[in-house]
């Protein structure tokens, strides 16, 4: 087995254990007790976002050569972080499949499938690790998206904390999600001659799926938190 696959398996097991123990670590408030599975799921996602978003920033800070070569450079720490994320997305995929109806979760299941394929290629080939790390910068915004869900489940919508989180969420959404995905699409277009056709096709399809999904989510957030 590739060491990367061992990290993926270890990450899957670790996030599964975290998910199982979260109800003791962070007991759900009364409004969230109707959906205990969702409470655990969001907190697990928040833990991954803090780890992967912070790790991606640290990766580019500690290894500036990553930003110069998104294809061939693969420091062990950055490669492991991408593998850890594959393990998380696999765990979350299984968690949703087991606990949520398909019509409620198909968008996220589809999203996770695309991420698992793209990140899995980076882990197995030891290539495009820098590109995957750029994608993980999106998780900085996901921290505030998950906090928003936690506050909603705890029935804390009409609080200063929720309002402040909404503003930060929107700002980080534009910077770390929309701008990052636009930059990745631009990079793919500029480097199309240097990327093998199969990898270029996977990347292009991935960006073509992610971009409209994120624009739709941005519109939903605006409508819900600012235009209601």
Are 195 and 71 in contact by the 8 Å Cβ rule? The answer is: yes
pLDDT surpasses 90 at 83: yes
Spatial CA neighbour of 80 closest among 116, 32, 133, 145: 133
Spatial CA neighbour of 221 closest among 180, 171, 175: 171
How much is the average pLDDT of 91-98? Answer: 95
The predicted structure's pLDDT at residue 20? 93
How much is the average pLDDT of 174-180? Answer: 93
The predicted structure's pLDDT at residue 21? 92
Helices of type H across the chain: 3-25, 36-62, 65-68, 76-99, 102-125, 129-136, 138-153, 160-172, 179-190, 197-225
- At 33-57, the pLDDT tens digits run 899 999 999 999 999 999 999 999 9
Spatial CA neighbour of 112 closest among 184, 220, 218, 12: 12
Domain boundaries, the chain: 3-226
pLDDT surpasses 70 at 29: yes
- At 164-176, the pLDDT tens digits run 999 999 999 999 9
pLDDT surpasses 90 at 120: yes
Percent of the chain scored above 70 by pLDDT?
99
pLDDT surpasses 80 at 2: no
pLDDT surpasses 70 at 218: yes
- At 187-216, the pLDDT tens digits run 988 888 888 898 889 888 888 888 888 899
pLDDT surpasses 80 at 228: no
- At 124-166, the pLDDT tens digits run 999 999 999 999 999 999 999 999 999 999 999 999 999 999 9
Rounded to the nearest integer, the mean pLDDT of the chain is 92
pLDDT tier at 1, thresholds 50, 70, 90 = low
pLDDT surpasses 70 at 17: yes
The predicted structure's pLDDT at residue 213? 87
Spatial CA neighbour of 184 closest among 218, 135, 141: 135
- The C-alpha atoms of residue 147 and residue 124 are separated, in whole angstroms, by 32
Contacts of 216 (CB under 8 A, 6+ apart): none
């Amino acid at each position: 087995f590739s060491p990367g696959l061992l990290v993926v398996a270890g990450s899957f097991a670790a996030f599964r254990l975290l998910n199982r123990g979260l109800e003791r670590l962070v007991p759900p408030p009364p409004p969230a007790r109707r959906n205990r599975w969702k409470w655990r799921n969001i907190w697990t996602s928040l833990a991954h976002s803090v780890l992967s978003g912070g790790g991606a920033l640290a990766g580019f800070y500690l290894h500036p050569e990553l930003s110069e070569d998104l294809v061939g450079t693969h420091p062990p720490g950055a490669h492991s972080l991408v593998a850890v994320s594959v393990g998380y997305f696999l765990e979350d995929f299984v968690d949703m499949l087991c606990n949520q109806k398909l019509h409620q979760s198909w968008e996220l299941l589809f999203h996770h499938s695309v991420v698992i394929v793209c990140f899995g290629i980076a882990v197995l080939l030891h290539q495009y690790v820098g590109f995957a790390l750029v994608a993980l910068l999106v998780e900085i915004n996901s921290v505030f998206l998950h906090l928003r869900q936690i506050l909603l489940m705890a029935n804390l919508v009409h609080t200063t904390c929720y309002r402040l989180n909404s503003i930060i969420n929107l700002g980080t959404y534009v910077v770390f999600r929309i701008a990052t995905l636009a930059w990745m699409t631009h990079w793919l277009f500029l480097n199309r001659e240097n990327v093998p056709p199969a990898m270029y096709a996977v990347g292009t399809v991935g960006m073509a799926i992610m971009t409209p999904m994120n624009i739709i989510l941005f519109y939903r957030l605006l409508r819900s938190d600012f235009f209601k």
